[in-house]
Structure 1
Amino acid sequence: MKKERLSVIVPVYSCDRYLLEMFEKLFLDGLRRHGGPELQLVVVDDASPLGAETEALVRGASAWAETVYIRNPANLGYVKSVNSGLAAASGELLLLCNSDTRITPGSIERLRSALDSGPRAGLAGPVSNGGFSSALQQYRGGPAPLASFAPEELARFDAFGSALASAPAAPLEAGWLLGFCLLIRRAVYREIGPFDEAFGFGYLEEMDYAIRARRAGWKLLAAPDSFVYHGGLRTSAQFAAPHAGSQTARLFPFKSFFRIMRGQRALIKKYGWKVVGVPQDAAGAAARGF
C-alpha cells in the first residue's frame, strides 16, 4: 500500500547567523537524511531579517524535497505562520516542526505507525530530550546537550533516536501533545480547522487544538519509539531574539512567561479554570472533562 504523502511545515525567524546555521545544520540536515522520500517542505518565514539567506537554504532543499517558501509581510507570530503553512500544504499527513528540532532515523516512520494504529488515531507526537517536565509522556531524556552542530555531535542524537526506533513500542494515548513536532492527519485538519490565532506568538495553542480534536472523537498518541531532538545548542548566550521561538525562553524568560500567561488566559476563556494543569495522559485529561 502506498504511503500517505507527508508535508512538513516549519515556521522560521532567522534574525542572526546562529539561528540560520541551526535551521540549516540541525533541522534541514536531519530532514534531508531521515525525512523519507516524496517529501513536501513548507517553510514560512515570519519576516526574518535574514530573509534572503533563509530563502536560499530553502532553494537548496529543493534538490531533495518539493519546497514551498512563504514570506510573511510582517512578523505575524507563530500561530499565524503555522496556519499559513497548513493552508499551503498538500500532504495527507501534516508534520508541524519547530526550527530547533532534529528528525532522527526512524522517527517519522514511528509517528506514521502510531497513526496507523486505529481509524480515529488523528495526532501523534514523539518523545524528546527535555525542555519541559519529566512527568510528561513525551519526556525521554537523551545524550548530553549539543555543544555544536558538528557531524559527530549530531550523530550522538541520531544514534539515540535510531536505537529507540529499532525497538517498536505501542503508542500511549495522550490528552494533549507538545507542539514542537506534531503529526496531524489531514482529516483532523479538515474537520476542526486551523489553530486558534488568539494564541498569537505561541504557547499552549497545541493544548487547545488537542481539546478540539478529542471532542471531535479523535485520539492523540505519544510514540515512545520516535525521538526528535529539540533545543538548539546548550550555550544559552547564543540564543537570539524573542521572535525566534521557544528556544529563546532561557534568554528572555519574562517575555516567555507573559506569553505563557496569555496562552493560559486564552485557554481559560474557552474552557474554564479546570483546564489549568491538565495531565498529559488521556485518563488524567478525561478526568478533568477533556
Structure 2
Amino acid sequence: MPSQAHTPRRPPVSLIMANRNNARTLDLFFERLEQNTSYPDLEVVIVDDESTDGSLAILRRWRDSSRFREFTLIERKHSGVMRSLNAALEAAGGELIAAVDGDATMETPGWLETMVDFQAADPRVGTVTGAVEFDDGTVQGYGAMLVCPEGLYGRGARPSEPAGRRTAHERSVNPPAEEVRHLLVPAEVDAAMGPCMLYARDLAREIGGYDPGFSPVWFDDLDFSMSVRRHGLKNFFVPVRVIHWLGARHRRDDTTRAYIAGMAARRAVARVLPARAKRFIWRAAGLDRIPPERWQRYLHHYEYWRRKWGWDFVNPDMDEVLRRWGGTEICWAYDAAMRAAGEHVIAGYERSASSRVTQQRA
C-alpha cells in the first residue's frame, strides 16, 4: 500500500459546462467523458442557455440515464455563456471546478486525475489546462500565450501575420499535432484554454467568476486566466488531449468513417503544402474571411479587453504591458524569479508523479 504522504488527494470536483446549441456533439461529448473519466468524486453541472437545436432533449436524456452519479441540469433563458458559467459555479458543490465545452471531447483516460494531481502539487497553481486539438488533427493550443510581442496564439501554433500588424487573433498557422509532440510535457503558460480548464471553486468566486462584459461568448478563458495571475497565481499546461470539434458541421451520428476519412485527407494535403502556399490558397478562395457578425463581436471584445487590461492582445505594445503589469505574475515570462518558480512547481509535480509510479510498481 502507498504511504499516506504519497497518496494523491481526490477532492470533490464539479464538471461545469455552459451549453448553447451543441446538439451535434453532445452525445459524443458525454460518451467520451464517461469512457475516459474514472474520478471517484465527480458531479456534472450543465447550464443550458436556451438552446434552439435539440440540445435540451439530449441533455435531459443524459441526466435521466443515471450514467453519471450526480448530474444537475439548469435550464435558463438566453443570457450568454459567461452568465451561464457563473450560474454553474453557483450551483457547483465541488472543491475544484473542471470547466469544459460541449463541442470538445476528453480523449485521455484518467485526464481528470492528472489535472487534479497537478493542481494539488503546489499552492501557486491557479489553473491547469489541456492539449486542445482540432478535429482535423491540427493544434489549436497547448495553453495560450498572449503576453508577448507576437500577440495571442495557441502554444504549438503561431500567428500567420507579422507581429505588430496582425488583423485578427484567429489568423494562425495550426500545424499537425505530430509536428509538435515535443510540447506534450507540463509547462507554464500565460493562460488556460476554455475547452478544458481546472481551478479551485473558491478562487473563481474570489475573482468574481466570469466577466459578462465578454458576453455572449469568447475570451472568457483568457480574461479568467489573467485574473488568476493578477491574484499572484500561475497557469499551467498538462498533456491531456482534448479534441475541439469546431470544424464539425454534423450531428453526432455523422461522425462516420467517411467524415474521418475526409479529415485524414485534409491532413495529408496539409502535410505536403508549404504554409505560405496554404495561406495563399485560403485567401484566394475567401476561406479566411471572418463572417461580419463574428467580426463585430471580435471588435467589441478587443476594445473591452483594452479598456479592462490596458493593452491590445492582438498587437501588444510590450513596453506598455511591462510598465503596467511588470513585477506581477501577468508578466511572469519577463521575470527570472517567477520563471524559476514555475519550473519549481513542475519539478515538484514530476517528482510526486514519479514516486507514485514507483510505488504502484512495487
TM-score band, normalised by shorter chain: 0.7 to 0.9
Task: State the match for 2:213 in structure 1.
Answer: 198
Residues 33-73 of structure 1: per-residue CA shift (max 9 Å, x gap): 1122332111111112336513422323533230111011x
Task: State the match for 1:153 in structure 2.
Answer: none
Partner secondary structure for residue 129 of structure 1: strand
CA contact (8 A) 1:173 1:220 kept: yes
Tell me which of 242, 256, 261 is aligned to 1:228. 242
Structure number with larger C-alpha Rg: 2
Change (3 A) 1:21 1:83: same
Task: State the match for 1:10 in structure 2.
Answer: 17
Q: Please report how far the alpha carbon of residue 132 of structure 1 lies from its aligned counterpart in structure 2 after TM superposition.
A: 3.7
Q: Please report how far the alpha carbon of residue 171 of structure 1 lies from its aligned counterpart in structure 2 after TM superposition.
A: 2.1
Match of 2:121, as an amino acid? S
Q: Does 1:33 align with 2:6?
A: no
| TM-score where L is the length of structure 1 | 0.73
Structure 1 stretches lacking a partner, 5+ long: 144-163, 240-249
Q: Does 1:253 align with 2:291?
A: yes
Partner secondary structure for residue 127 of structure 1: strand
- What is the distance in 2 between the residues matched to 1:40 and 1:124? 19
Tell me which of 207, 215, 224 is aligned to 2:222. 207
Partner secondary structure for residue 178 of structure 1: coil
- What is the distance in 1 between the residues matched to 2:43 and 2:82? 20
Q: Does 1:119 align with 2:123?
A: yes
- What is the distance in 1 between the residues matched to 2:140 and 2:306? 21
Tell me which of 91, 94, 101 is aligned to 2:97. 94
Q: Please report how far the alpha carbon of residue 172 of structure 1 lies from its aligned counterpart in structure 2 after TM superposition.
A: 1.0
CA contact (8 A) 1:79 1:196 kept: yes
- What is the distance in 2 between the residues matched to 1:86 and 1:20? 22
Change (3 A) 1:28 1:85: same
- What is the distance in 2 between the residues matched to 1:251 and 1:197? 27
- What is the distance in 1 between the residues matched to 2:212 and 2:66? 30
| TM-score where L is the length of structure 2 | 0.60
CA contact (8 A) 1:124 1:177 kept: yes
Change (3 A) 1:22 1:235: closer
Structure 2 stretches lacking a partner, 5+ long: 1-6, 143-152, 158-174, 253-287, 319-327, 336-362
Which stretch of the first structure deviates more once superposed, 267-276 or 201-210? Answer: 267-276
Residues 195-229 of structure 1: per-residue CA shift (max 9 Å, x gap): 11111112112222111111111111011x21111
CA contact (8 A) 2:24 2:250 kept: no
Match of 2:12, as an amino acid? R
Q: Please report how far the alpha carbon of residue 23 of structure 1 lies from its aligned counterpart in structure 2 after TM superposition.
A: 0.2
Task: State the match for 2:84 in structure 1.
Answer: 81
> Kindly, what percent of the aligned residue pairs are identical?
24
